[in-house]
Structure 1
């Protein structure tokens, strides 16, 4: 049995990562907008992390599998990537305050590249140190720590930003460094033995993507389409959610006449609701069926988005804060119902020897959505204005609630 304290220490790595991304998504679009960029171009910038993740993460993870050092096979990547990411993350607001467009672009690219260098090896540490029968519990602890990091970033970030735009970034950089230092110092990695016939770097890159392509081909040609519709649904609802996550602070600032730090606090309430409702969402899915729970979650989220659109057309400024907080509490709970019950459906369709590959399909669908969503959302807002954001996001959520109804396998408690 794995020690809870050990999982908690590993969870600090995810805590650190999840203090970075909420701040990045909340403030970087506003920074970029100040240079006169269109929302479409801002959206392109916001896809950089997902492009790196899609192309490089499988390769870095596979490369770490083959790494042999005295520290272990994962820690060298953490020791290189985390400090670099911390430095470049802090440079983003510094160069924005100097209004240096080329420097902030360079910092954004390097920060995202540095995060890619250690994210996969950090994730791989969990199965490395955890017996198979305890990995669900371990994943729960890690996700809780990640959710705690996101909530802290949103809620504390709003107060730090009022002091200085660099304040949240400085705090996030320090937390990323310290949390991953805990992982490096206190997680004992089993030292790998030297392997014969070690594959070349080029071969590792080819292998890391070959399985994904083969699994995608199986999904497309299979006569039973449950997995296809599940992956399509995941792509659709993440497209909608990412639109909100990326552009809500811009929407609040330029359409609702709210300061960006207030918008960040509102997103923090959504993260808090998601975190608190994640465990009940799993029990609801087990009792009433995963697909039914997902549809309920999607319907709840869509209803909140449409209600937000109506409210925003009638109320602006501080008067809208309390109604929006209520909507985000309800919407965050709906998002938990959807998110918590989706991966188990995909894994229940997987043959035993392809659990890792099918997990890759799940993350491929979500990352592809996160690549498509920001520029597409930005383009639509350039044409129709910020007021369209909630309707745009809700439309994808509604469509996904239709496509998920075609999923017949892995739905657990409900009848197909």
Structure 2
């Protein structure tokens, strides 16, 4: 008779998820202030999406690598916690350095380092829930993470606004970052390190031997990813390489917008990765981490394939919001495009309040959503929440008083909380425990790819369709949320047990 993972108490789940408060603290500071920093250092509106690709690219590269490494790590700190610590150290250092950047290229480079560091910590946290909780409690774990994400982001997003009300200078000479932003980043570095440190010292992990003793592990470990042969890898790579190479050539020859290089070169690289797999399959070689990630990418569970489209449109909308909210609010609601003006900085601080508000509403939604799921089911609850997000983004267009944008944040908060928990609840129980980290990293592809696409085409859509008016990025995001809401209804859950489990709530 096999053992079963024991249920954890409320406080044990609290401790293992508490580090997400710190991670989101850093993530929220980045989301609410990076566009402001770039504009302050001289970036124009059309180059901001290009500068923002640091996040998606580092996530695309780092998360599956860290997932694979953490699946195969065991030392005194455990399996996932060594990566929590490494990521926390480098993220905290990055938060200290970034607001002191004096030129644009330094700020852009620090964003790459900051994003990579956040991803080193963030990816194992998703797998941590799958490792430590029995399947019936996994949705509670993800809901708890969503709660801490909301709480951490509320304070972080509002910090510059709060500091300005305590007399910290909110303006600076042209080309310099205001003290409100600098001190917010310094405080974020401390909070992040302390929160992640608390999870490291207060939580335990199961050893590989203990995981192997659980029935879940035995059952799931039986099926490994099927391996494609060399010919199939080559043909698949060709399907990506030919159109992508032609597209790259056309962008160069015809002088099309350089942002399109993000898309075309990305497809070329993916084709090359498949050709590398074709070459590796021709001669016997020991399986590497690269082989594992590529094999598992093409052998992921069906429900993961279905959720890929939901994630794609959800995160396209979020990326549009993160990039353009500062520009949309300062221009549409405050009537200024001058980053050195007091009015612009007042509007930018209000965006921080708005971002704090939607994260605050998401913390409340993390408590309400399980009730919605128990009444509607996972798919309909997620669909409704995404439609609320669409309505929230669309309302930016017709709301004139920036104070009333707080109402828009209610819908966005519900969508955000839902995106951070319900797709993972739908996945709970269908991922092999011995590949939990690598599959969570692969699932991140469907968060990263839409962000890369957004960085490639959002600027073009605004320039040629809306005269570079950033408020219409909110409209594009609303349409994308609505498409995600339609896609989630088509997801076929393998069984209904997740619904009952999520319905138990995030707090006990």
Give me the whole-angstrom Cα distance separating, in 1, the residues matched to 2:121 and 2:151.
20
Q: Does 1:61 align with 2:67?
A: yes
Of 308, 327, 337 in structure 1, the residue corresponding to residue 396 of structure 2 is 308
CA separation of 1:17/1:232 partners in 2, compared to 1, >3 Å: closer, same or farther?
Answer: same
- Scaled by the length of structure 1, what TM-score is found? 0.81
In the TM superposition, residue 131 of structure 1 has moved relative to its aligned partner by: 3.9
CA shift for structure 1 position 232: 1.6
- Give the conservation status (yes or no) of the 8 Å contact 2:311–2:447: yes
Mean Cα displacement is larger for which, 373-382 or 392-401? 373-382
The alignment status of 1:206 with 2:212, answered yes or no, reads no
Residues 129 and 353 (structure 1 numbering): CA distance in 2 closer, same or farther, change over 3 Å? closer
> Are 2:43 and 1:17 aligned?
no
Aligned residue in 1 for 2:481: 397
Residues 272/374 of structure 1: CA separation in 2 closer, same or farther (3 Å cut): farther
8 Å contact 1:72–1:191 — kept in the other structure?
A: yes
Q: Deviations over 1:175-225 (max 9, x none)?
A: 1111122233333445668xxxxxx9971232133202222xx86xxxxxx
Deviations 1:243-273 (A, max 9, x none): 1123212322233225211111012111111
Give runs of aligned pairs for residues 136-215 of structure 1, distance below 5 A. Answer: 136-160=139-163, 163=168, 164=179, 165-189=181-205, 203-215=288-300
Q: Is 1:259 equivalent to 2:275 in the alignment?
A: no
Partner Cα separation in structure 2 for residue 155 and residue 190 of structure 1: 38
| Counterpart among 421, 428, 445 of residue 364 in structure 1 | 445
Is the CA contact (8 Å cut-off) linking 1:38 and 1:378 kept in structure 2? no
Distance 2:374 2:444 in 1: 22
- Counterpart CA distance in 2 for 1:327 and 1:173 is 29
8 Å contact kept, 1:70–1:191: no
Aligned length: 388
The more displaced of 143-152 and 282-291 is 282-291
Partner of 2:359: 271
Once the 2 structures are TM-superposed, how far is the Cα of residue 407 of structure 1 from its aligned partner? 4.2
Q: Using the alignment, how far apart are the partners of 2:448 and 2:349 within structure 1?
A: 27
Distance (Å, rounded) in 2 between the aligned partners of 1:68 and 1:271: 34
Q: Residues 64 and 342 (structure 1 numbering): CA distance in 2 closer, same or farther, change over 3 Å? A: closer
Q: Distance in 1 between matches of 2:75 and 2:440?
A: 28
Which position in structure 1 is the counterpart of 2:460? Answer: 379
Kept in 1: contact 2:130–2:433 (CA 8 A): no
Q: 1:395 to 1:259 in 2, by over 3 A?
A: same
Q: CA deviation at 1:128?
A: 3.6
Residue of 88, 93, 110 corresponding to 2:99: 93
The answer (yes or no) to whether the contact 1:344–1:410 under 8 Å persists in 2 is no
Q: Which runs of 5+ in 1 are unaligned?
A: 194-199, 220-225
Q: CA deviation at 1:242?
A: 2.2
Which among 111, 117, 120 is matched to residue 120 of structure 2?
117
Work out the CA distance in 2 between the residues paired with 1:345 and 1:134.
Answer: 13
Query: Normalising to structure 2: TM-score of the pair?
Result: 0.67
**Rounded Cα–Cα distance in structure 2 between residues aligned with 1:259 and 1:201:** 56
Specify every segment of 5 or more residues in structure 2 that has no aligned partner in the other structure, as ranges.
1-6, 169-178, 210-284, 335-345, 500-508
Is 2:319 aligned against 1:242?
yes
| CA deviation profile, 1:272-308 (whole Å, cap 9, x unmatched) | 1122123322322332244333343333332333332
Task: Tell me the distance in 2 between the aligned counterparts of 1:411 and 1:325.
Answer: 38
User: How far has the Cα of 1:173 moved from its partner?
Assistant: 0.5
Q: In the alignment, which residue of structure 2 is the partner of 1:196?
A: none
Rounded to whole Å, the distance in 2 between the matches of 1:78 and 1:141 is 18
Identify which range, 364-373 or 398-407, moves more after superposition: 398-407
SS of structure 2 residue aligned to 1:259? helix
Aligned equivalent of 1:223: none
Structure 2 contact 56–452 (Cα < 8 Å) conserved? yes
Q: Structure 1's 138 and 42: CA in aligned 2 closer, same or farther, altered over 3 A?
A: same
Q: Matches of 1:387 and 1:141 in 2, distance apart?
A: 33
Post-superposition CA distance 1:81-104 (Å, at most 9, x none): 211211112211111xxx223322
Find the counterpart in structure 1 of residue 175 from structure 2.
none
Are 1:108 and 2:86 matched, yes or no?
Answer: no
Match of 2:384 in 1: 296
RMSD: 3.2
Q: Distance in 1 between matches of 2:328 and 2:63?
A: 31
1:393/1:379 Cα in 2 relative to 1: closer, same or farther (>3 Å)? same
Higher-Rg member (1/2): 2
Match of 1:31 among 14, 23, 37: 37
CA gap 1:51/1:81 in 2 versus in 1, 3 angstroms: same
- Does the Cα contact within 8 Å between 1:347 and 1:359 map onto a contact in 2? no
